């Protein structure tokens, strides 16, 4: 009888008490304090992407995300809330806590190449103010390229192509001052204006290009270039290539490639192509980034990049045609 | 059992044991070809390497350039302190000296999906002395065993 009781106790412990204590502990952790715990699973886009892909939280609520991945390494970032987890490895659970202080929609995305469709892996955090659950939709000013009526699909070749890579270091030796607002102008415009200046007749074309390169580097600044380089490596290099030639591995079989105009260059843009890049203003490039690739497979970056990040990347793109020391 | 017979059998065992041991530890002539520096480009995708077999000479300085075509992949060589990871847009390079001869598997070192454990390639460092030594040692042992049992009957 005692043996039977003992056996029953063991069975009870294994099948009832142990699981109950585990579940109880998890439930207690989930509801501990005023932190709401939300499980978020990162799957490659082909097998479901973010689950759930919409997370509803209230303003001021403390939220802890427990992010796990069942397949490959992913990343997680909510740029507009400043939350990021760089590495979510399979078999690990990454936890991150945040409090949303203002209502709105905050997009999040995967930040590591997890599959060919990596860029489709996005979701939204919906922050609701309980007192005002249906606020009017926010209005945005139209982007610069629309305000300035820049046609971002027109070809924009430069009038004059430099014989070699313009160098900011050589430009620094010339002492030519450029006072224009470079954001609206293309390098080609700036060069043309310098060439037309009678005071600068003694300079060669290449020297004027060097001065133009220096102007762009000075406007950008070193911090912006370093940030832009990081973002380029993370988000662009997979298709546009590490050397900017448009030969990245992820850009080889893009969905819209066959449908492209036969006269156009197929595949991702070549940032080392001086003829096209020198004819493009920063605003035009920003338009391309904001809008994305119209079926080519390039994502739109408007929802994920802050304005500053966008200018950082564009500043860095110039380093493919300008020689920055 | 007569005494000389036993002595003879002991001699046979001793000789084949010594020869077997010698096959494993005997010094070998140096490699004929001079070591060279080589760069090998490997592209990784789910779930294979291209090329999957690397043939190198012992003493070569190998630079492996790993490019990934879809997700994050790694390359770790068994028996060498080599482990790199690449993803699209972030290639990785590693330089090492192939100073151990033999066949070594290299594997993906970052979980890259369902068949990740089967993503394997092979580094073949020639001349493959361990293999040749094992063959010779086996043959000597076999011949010794045949002579040994021949004498018993």
Query: In the prediction, which pLDDT does B3 show?
Result: 59
Please name the member of A112, A241, A249 whose beta carbon is closest to the beta carbon of B72: A112
Query: In the prediction, which pLDDT does A159 show?
Result: 78
What's the whole-number mean pLDDT along residues B45-63? 92
A269 touches chain B (CB under 8 A): no
Average pLDDT value for chain B: 88
Q: Give ∠ CA A55-A58-A60 in degrees, rounded to 5.
A: 125
Cβ neighbours of A220 (radius 10 Å)? 23
Query: In the prediction, which pLDDT does B2 show?
Result: 53
Residue of A nearest to B46 (CA): A115
- Least Cα separation, residue B11 to chain A (angstroms): 59
Cβ neighbours of A82 (radius 10 Å)? 9
What's the whole-number mean pLDDT along residues A168-193? 85
Q: Is the pLDDT of residue A320 over 70?
A: yes
Q: What is the pLDDT of residues A286-296, one digit of tens each?
A: 999 998 877 77
d(CA A240, CA B116): 27
Query: In the prediction, which pLDDT does B39 show?
Result: 95
Residue linked to tokens 């027109």: A154
**Which residues of B fall within a CB distance of 8 Å from A118?**
71
Q: Do B89 and A250 touch (CB under 8 A)?
A: yes
For residues A107 and A304, is the Cβ–Cβ distance under 8 A?
yes
What's the whole-number mean pLDDT along residues A63-89? 92
DSSP character string of A209-274: HHHHHHHHHHHH-HHHHHHHHHHIIIIIHHHH-TTSSS--GGGSS-TTTTTS-TTSPPSS--TT-H
**Which residues of A fall within a CB distance of 8 Å from B68?**
113, 249
A46 touches chain B (CB under 8 A): no
For chain A, give the number of residues. 325
Q: Do B88 and A234 touch (CB under 8 A)?
A: no
Average pLDDT value for chain A: 88
**Which residues of A fall within a CB distance of 8 Å from B90?**
233, 237, 242
**B139: part of which helix (H) or strand (E)?**
helix B129-152
Q: Do A44 and B69 touch (CB under 8 A)?
A: no
- Name the band, by pLDDT with cuts 50, 70 and 90, for residue A91: confident
Q: Is the pLDDT of residue A74 over 90?
A: yes
d(CA A72, CA B109): 12
Q: Do B89 and A71 touch (CB under 8 A)?
A: no
Residue of A nearest to B71 (CA): A114
Q: Do A248 and B112 touch (CB under 8 A)?
A: no
Q: Show which residues on chain B lie within 8 Å of chain A, measured between beta carbons.
A: 43, 46, 67-72, 87-91, 110-114
Q: Helix, strand or coil for residue A198?
A: helix
Q: Do A72 and B88 touch (CB under 8 A)?
A: no
- Name the band, by pLDDT with cuts 50, 70 and 90, for residue B32: low
- CB neighbour list of residue A322: distance below 8 Å, 6 or more residues apart: A165, A166, A167, A168, A187, A212, A213, A216, A217
- Name the band, by pLDDT with cuts 50, 70 and 90, for residue B4: low
Q: Do B111 and A90 touch (CB under 8 A)?
A: yes
Q: Is the pLDDT of residue B8 over 60?
A: yes
Q: Do A73 and B89 touch (CB under 8 A)?
A: no
Q: Do B89 and A237 touch (CB under 8 A)?
A: yes
Q: Do A249 and B68 touch (CB under 8 A)?
A: yes
Q: Is the pLDDT of residue A300 over 60?
A: yes
- Name the band, by pLDDT with cuts 50, 70 and 90, for residue A32: low
Q: What is the pLDDT of residues A36-66, one digit of tens each?
A: 889 999 999 999 999 999 999 999 999 999 9
Q: What is the pLDDT of residues A96-129, one digit of tens each?
A: 999 989 899 999 999 998 888 888 899 999 999 9
For residues B71 and A119, is the Cβ–Cβ distance under 8 A?
no
Higher pLDDT, A199 or B120: B120
Cα A240–chain centre separation: 14
A73 touches chain B (CB under 8 A): yes
- CB neighbour list of residue B56: distance below 8 Å, 6 or more residues apart: B38, B62, B98, B123, B124, B125, B126
Q: Do B111 and A112 touch (CB under 8 A)?
A: no
Please name the member of B46, B88, B113 whose beta carbon is closest to the beta carbon of A250: B88
**What is the token pair recorded at A127?**
């922050």
Residue linked to tokens 């493959």: B128
Which of A69, A70, A68, A39 is closest to A55 using CA atoms? A39
- Name the band, by pLDDT with cuts 50, 70 and 90, for residue B29: low
Query: In the prediction, which pLDDT does B6 show?
Result: 81
- Least Cα separation, residue B43 to chain A (angstroms): 9
**What is the token pair recorded at B80?**
């060498």
For residues A100 and A124, is the Cβ–Cβ distance under 8 A?
no
Burial class (CB within 10 angstroms; exposed 0-12, middle 13-18, buried 19+) of B7: exposed
Query: In the prediction, which pLDDT does A264 show?
Result: 67
Q: Do B67 and A73 touch (CB under 8 A)?
A: no
Q: Is the pLDDT of residue A205 over 70?
A: yes
Q: What is the pLDDT of residues A303-314, one digit of tens each?
A: 888 889 999 999
Interface test with chain A among B43, B49, B70, by most A beta carbons within 10 Å = B70
Q: Do A72 and B68 touch (CB under 8 A)?
A: no
d(CA B70, CA A144): 34
Is this prediction's pTM over 0.85? no
- Least Cα separation, residue A161 to chain B (angstroms): 28
For residues A32 and A64, is the Cβ–Cβ distance under 8 A?
no
Q: DSSP strand E in chain A: where?
A: 35-42, 50-51, 54-58, 62-68, 74-78, 83-88, 93-99, 104-109, 122-128
Where do the H-state alpha helices sit in A101-176?
Answer: 144-147, 168-171
Q: What is the pLDDT of residues B63-108, one digit of tens each?
A: 999 999 988 999 999 999 999 999 888 899 999 999 998 999 999 9
Which of A29, A25, A103, A95 is closest to A61 using CA atoms? A103
Q: Is the pLDDT of residue B120 over 60?
A: yes
Higher pLDDT, A294 or A160: A160
Instruction: Flag the least confident range among A18-27, A210-219, B32-41.
Output: B32-41
**What is the token pair recorded at A69?**
């991945």
Residue of A nearest to B113 (CA): A71
């Amino acid at each position: 009888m005692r043996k039977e009781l003992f056996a029953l106790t063991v069975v009870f412990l294994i099948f009832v008490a142990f699981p109950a204590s585990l579940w109880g502990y998890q439930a207690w952790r989930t509801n501990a304090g005023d932190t709401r715990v939300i499980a978020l699973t990162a799957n490659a886009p082909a097998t479901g992407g973010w689950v759930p892909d919409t997370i509803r939280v209230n303003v001021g609520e403390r939220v802890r995300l427990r992010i796990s991945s069942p397949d490959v390494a992913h990343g997680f970032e909510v740029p507009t809330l400043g939350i990021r987890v760089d590495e979510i490895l399979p078999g690990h659970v990454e936890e991150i806590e945040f409090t949303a202080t203002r209502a709105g929609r905050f997009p999040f995305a995967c930040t590591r190449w997890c599959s060919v469709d990596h860029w489709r892996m996005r979701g939204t955090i919906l922050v609701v103010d309980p007192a005002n659950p249906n606020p009017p939709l926010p209005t945005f000013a139209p982007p610069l390229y629309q305000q300035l009526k820049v046609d971002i699909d027109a070809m924009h070749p430069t009038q004059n192509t430099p014989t070699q890579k313009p160098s900011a270091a050589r430009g620094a030796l010339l002492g030519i001052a450029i006072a224009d607002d470079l954001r609206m102008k293309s390098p080609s415009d700036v060069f043309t204006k310098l060439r037309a200046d009678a005071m600068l007749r003694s300079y060669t074309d290449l020297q004027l290009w060097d001065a133009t390169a220096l102007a762009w580097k000075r406007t950008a600044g070193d911090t912006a270039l370093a940030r832009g380089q990081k973002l380029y490596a993370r988000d662009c290099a997979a298709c546009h290539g590490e050397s900017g030639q448009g030969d990245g591995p992820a850009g080889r079989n893009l969905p819209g490639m066959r449908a492209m105009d036969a006269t156009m260059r197929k595949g991702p843009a070549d940032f080392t192509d001086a003829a096209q890049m020198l004819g493009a203003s920063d605003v035009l490039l920003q338009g391309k980034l904001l809008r994305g690739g119209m079926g080519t497979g390039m994502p739109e970056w408007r929802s994920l990049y802050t304005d500053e990040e966008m200018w950082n990347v564009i500043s860095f793109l110039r380093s493919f045609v300008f020689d920055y020391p | 059992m007569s005494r000389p017979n036993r002595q003879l059998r002991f001699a046979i065992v001793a000789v084949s044991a010594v020869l077997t041991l010698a096959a494993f530890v005997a010094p070998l002539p140096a490699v004929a070809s001079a070591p060279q520096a080589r760069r090998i480009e490997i592209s990784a995708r789910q779930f294979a390497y291209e090329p999957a077999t690397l043939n190198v000479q012992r003493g070569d300085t190998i630079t492996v350039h790993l490019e990934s075509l879809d997700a994050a992949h790694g390359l770790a060589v068994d028996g060498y302190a080599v482990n790199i990871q690449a993803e699209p847009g972030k290639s990785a390079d590693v330089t090492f000296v192939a100073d151990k001869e033999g066949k070594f598997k290299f594997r993906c070192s970052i979980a890259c999906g369902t068949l990740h454990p089967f993503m394997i390639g092979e580094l073949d460092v020639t001349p493959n002395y361990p293999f040749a030594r094992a063959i010779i040692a086996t043959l000597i042992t076999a011949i010794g065993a045949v002579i040994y049992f021949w004498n018993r009957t």
